[in-house]
Amino acid sequence: MKNLIAFILPGCILLACSGKDYFNQGKIAFDKKDYKNAIAYFDSALVENPENASAFATRGSARYNLHDYEGAMADYTKSIEYWPKNNDNENELASIYSDLADCYYNKELYDAAIENYTTSIDKNNNLAIAYAGRGDAYVLTTKPALAQADFEKAISIDPSLASAYFGLGYLKFEEKDYNAAIPHYNRAIELDPEDVKSYMDRGDSYYMLADYLKSIDDFTKAIELDPTFAKAYVFRGDAKDNLDRSQEALEDYNKALELDTNYDLAYFGRGAARKNLNDKKGACEDFKKAWDLGYAEAEAFTKDCQ
């Protein structure tokens, strides 16, 4: 979630000094997470002063929180255009460039994200979130060495930045160094105990180390945080099936398929559980469905069903 831009320029420089004070009303609505009304107030502020850089920036953050990334990008770009260009404002501009980069990242435009994170860092080389964001973008453009350097730099600036520890854990996981990944996920969870993806990836690390009980604990926590997360049920089902708890696994796969009726991995997992429960007909139906949905590994299992 985007926070309200911390740097607000003095009222009568950029704000229309009206009795209605739409900008301050927008800030109040934003702080209450009432983003739709915040946007409406900032709209009014911009009618009064079309070059209100702070209103563009904060409206951009409201739009970002509503997942309107294109609208947010337009607002951040306008804010940068109108923000006074002097050395006193470089840190403020750095934050806005970082927010703009986040939008590009969410639109899967990773090169543009990297470019804007880099501009942010050039303006303020102590902005940890910009390093962490650029690290994430480097991960997705297959530049692990650059990603690691950015995550480590982010942590050196802000040791409480959970996302940077998660990033380091992810890099170790991709290297198949699961034992090294787990301490990074541990730290990410300590700092942000409600981050589903950290539990999922730590659980997956335990799974790959055949520590199925610990993986089940993590996938269960992920489900507690997000009961609609079908993948967590599938992964927990896989771990249970490996412990010969196939009936329990079957229940997890069924739940995943309630949430996503075209989930190929859920059909494949349920097929494996049914096979372990000597339900050959049900297993074959599930393996075939998984294959039909594009899960290539299921093809070998369907051959036993001829």
Give 148's contacts (C-beta < 8 A, 6+ positions apart). Answer: 135, 168, 171
Answer yes or no: are the C-beta atoms of 216 and 239 closer than 8 Å: yes
Residue found by looking up tokens 């390093």 in the block: 131
**Confidence at residue 85, expressed as pLDDT on a 0 to 100 scale:** 78
Which domains does the chain possess? 228-306 (1.25.40.10)
**Confidence at residue 14, expressed as pLDDT on a 0 to 100 scale:** 41
As a whole number of angstroms, the distance between CA 289 and CA 253 comes to 14
The torsion defined by the Cα of 117, 120, 122 and 123, in degrees rounded to 10, comes to 180
**Confidence at residue 250, expressed as pLDDT on a 0 to 100 scale:** 97
* Count of CA atoms in the C-beta half-sphere (13 A) of 289: 19
Q: How confident is the model at residue 19 (pLDDT cuts 50, 70, 90)?
A: very low
Give 292's contacts (C-beta < 8 A, 6+ positions apart). Answer: none
As a whole number of angstroms, the distance between CA 142 and CA 164 comes to 17
Q: How confident is the model at residue 156 (pLDDT cuts 50, 70, 90)?
A: very high
As a whole number of angstroms, the distance between CA 299 and CA 227 comes to 31
Got the DSSP string for 166-207? HHHHHHHHHTT-HHHHHHHHHHHHHH-TT-HHHHHHHHHHHH
Closest CA to 15 of 58, 47, 49: 49
- Per-residue pLDDT of 71-96, as tens digits, reads 999 999 999 999 987 767 789 999 99
**Confidence at residue 12, expressed as pLDDT on a 0 to 100 scale:** 38
Closest CA to 63 of 49, 50, 73: 73
Give 245's contacts (C-beta < 8 A, 6+ positions apart). Answer: none
Residue 217: enclosing H or E segment and its boundaries?
Answer: helix 212-225
pLDDT at 10 over 70: no
Q: How far is CA 302 from CA 32, 212, 237, 267, 283, in A?
A: 54, 27, 21, 12, 9
As a whole number of angstroms, the distance between CA 233 and CA 23 comes to 45
Lowest mean pLDDT among 8-22, 37-51, 96-110: 8-22
As a whole number of angstroms, the distance between CA 129 and CA 127 comes to 6
pTM (predicted TM-score): 0.88
- Per-residue pLDDT of 124-134, as tens digits, reads 999 999 999 99
As a whole number of angstroms, the distance between CA 270 and CA 165 comes to 34
As a whole number of angstroms, the distance between CA 96 and CA 251 comes to 46
As a whole number of angstroms, the distance between CA 216 and CA 211 comes to 9
Answer yes or no: are the C-beta atoms of 239 and 258 closer than 8 Å: no
> Is 5 or 203 the better-scoring residue by pLDDT?
203
Task: Tell me the two tokens of residue 228.
Answer: 């609609």
Mean per-residue pLDDT of the chain: 93
Phi and psi at 109, nearest 5°, equal -100, 75
